[in-house]
Structure 1
């Protein structure tokens, strides 16, 4: 599952035109409800250029806007010795770089568009959400700057200033702190171990030469995808992208992330700037290559942690009124990660860990009945389709699944009939199979991180 379905979109607002989908009583009714939204989008066009660059275009008429995105497969902490924050600093510098007297950021703002940089452990996204009538010129600017990064000291300095501010802001967000700390607990090394924001000490030591070297290695056509969805001319997008396509270059493998030998003894964190309690629990899951198992984990994620209907969500929210609870299975190359977080003024970390673990055991003690499973799967399909009602959300899915090496498995690769690899995998699920996946991955001991209210030293077992 694309992590953006749970977290807030950084820097971009939702499109104005959306369609609401409601939980139906049967799969047939879910198909009927789904047909209205996917029908607004034409079939996708996927092309791989001679240099290895991938292009996905899809015309969608629900709103006069265009989602223009470039995604790059790359480790957020760089190649070789880890330098957390390097990928984010590089992407921010690209957005700040001036060419022709203006930067991508200033051109987007002048046209009434929004530009955003999103960096994940193993991918970077540079995106523009624009009115359709200016999408052509902004696409030119986006692909020119992103596919041919040429950075100077002014762009680097501006990017470093922005990243320093983002680092400070991220420490005031309990969900960010908990999630980053949980991944550091689960993974002993590799890009999944480190926060994409990095830290002030690493940032101070990074130079323009570091950023330039990283861009040269990471920003190569074979590891890049251009996505254009919405009010776009498919042929025009193809011509503009092909005109800007760089020469082929060798791709560099992303370092592997090794799973740590952790126990379920909680790791306590010190974050003096946060005055709320919080917890995070996480379990390594199946790799994206095991599509059926990964889909089962997506289903379980929805069944357990949907904000209003999830089994765990209801229990945690009842126990701690006003708690900010969320959970998700993040689809990754190997392994994926299922995690939950809860934070808030009324969250007692020790009690909440026990509540979550007990609720998980109760919910997964046996397979769902056929009737309950059918209802839950219908609900999941509706929730999933409800998260794919904008050009931006469709584009995001293409980019995310490309970055994990499974573009055809993207939920966006579907139509009104719910064809495609992802929804075929959803329909293949059975109560017994889902139970077997839950037993294999979610009955193991979790990694546990707690955020006590008030300062406390870091402690916990290995």
Structure 2
């Protein structure tokens, strides 16, 4: 998945070769006739392929913010019958694949994982559907039905609920201030068909798309791309959201007691600092192996705990989500661990943690779906070469350059005063 950069230790290099890497083959990059960027990471040693389209677009739309609009529009396109008489989502299922849509404050991804050799057919259908979007009334109704389900599921998900609350408390304006899934469908249901079509036409332009492919791919995948519009418009710039002046504490309610902690991190342009934040997230919060995660699992096995650094254009966010009756105790352990991280680790401890960190990065980007996600995410956030799956190895070289003093310096700079969200169980 990632080629080791020069200067990594022999121990690290040994761990790298435990995986057969898709990035051992050259990553192909192509600018397509209608302005799309295509990134392909072929790996003939797997049985599946992943096809993804990524678009920079505010999740709330381009005018008055409407939570869930981007997802609604994307689903409506996938559920609208095209010239073939079938919907895109059904076509993917007929080929034995799975179809999904992921929405972030500043971007969205349409993805299909399919058996090997089916990638070209799916890429043709997917680009035809999104690059020249045709939304039918049936497709719009299906998109609205999905919004009802998503809103219901979100109300039971502590991670999504806390993430949305932390982002709302860090960002004062812009799409990051609003949830990517609707709290309810009232605002969505008042939109006209023309409102949704206008968003789709602006967001799903071929010149605004990154085509991300990974796995067992057909030869010359660029030839399968269909559709596209010559509109003279370049790709959209990274979508920005404004920040509150200082970290704050907010309260709310949820189905159980929960606490969220959030810290503003470096922009993606400071790639080494972002990598240090990823290391800190891995060392402290990674499920099963992180310092705090192990404490939470051992002492409070019924509690929910997760933590990650989210690399964004500017700024990134370190996010910790905790739910359950011991949320305060786990939160205290997390905050204490962050304070300790501001003191350099012992060299031997740090070396072992850095080796584990890069090993985890390899594992987390091994499958075609993970690799395609990886390329698409870093491309829309502004630095495609920084993707850990990239064959040039920029990310791994930066990871190998980390040292105890630098990581402690980054922790001291960014992990100081968190934004805190405290949710109390309904009925308390």
TM-score (norm. length: structure 1): 0.86
* Residues 1:248 and 1:421: Cα distance change in structure 2 (over 3 Å): farther
**Residue of structure 2 in register with 1:160 after alignment:** 144
1:325 shift after superposition: 0.9
Unmatched 5+ stretches in structure 2: 2-7
1:141 aligned to 2:125?
A: yes
**Residue of structure 1 in register with 2:393 after alignment:** 420
1:451 shift after superposition: 2.1
* Residues 1:433 and 1:142: Cα distance change in structure 2 (over 3 Å): same
* Superposition RMSD in Å: 1.9
* Residues 1:359 and 1:420: Cα distance change in structure 2 (over 3 Å): closer
Question: For 2:420, which of 425, 439, 448 is the aligned residue?
Answer: 448
1:339 aligned to 2:314?
A: no
- SS of the equivalent of 1:188 reads strand
For the residues of structure 1 that align with 2:300 and 2:292, how far apart are their CA atoms? 12
TM-score (norm. length: structure 2): 0.93
Q: Is the 8 A contact 2:117 2:218 kept in 1?
A: no
1:82-161 matched pairs, under 5 angstroms = 82-99=65-82, 100-161=84-145
For the residues of structure 1 that align with 2:237 and 2:27, how far apart are their CA atoms? 28
**Residue of structure 2 in register with 1:287 after alignment:** 267
* Residues 1:34 and 1:245: Cα distance change in structure 2 (over 3 Å): farther
Q: Aligned residue pairs: how many?
A: 418
Q: Is the 8 A contact 2:238 2:313 kept in 1?
A: no
1:396 aligned to 2:373?
A: yes
- SS of the equivalent of 2:253 reads coil
1:223 shift after superposition: 2.1
1:35-434 matched pairs, under 5 angstroms = 35-39=17-21, 41-99=24-82, 100-200=84-184, 201-235=186-220, 237-241=221-225, 243-250=226-233, 251-253=235-237, 255-265=239-249, 267-271=250-254, 274=255, 276-344=256-324, 346-347=325-326, 349-361=327-339, 363-414=340-391, 419-434=392-407
Q: Is the 8 A contact 1:57 1:234 kept in 2?
A: no
* Residues 1:157 and 1:249: Cα distance change in structure 2 (over 3 Å): farther
1:421 shift after superposition: 1.4
1:98 shift after superposition: 0.4
Q: Is the 8 A contact 2:253 2:425 kept in 1?
A: no
Q: Is the 8 A contact 2:365 2:371 kept in 1?
A: yes
**Residue of structure 2 in register with 1:30 after alignment:** 12
Q: Is the 8 A contact 2:307 2:319 kept in 1?
A: yes
1:431 shift after superposition: 1.2
1:254 shift after superposition: 5.2
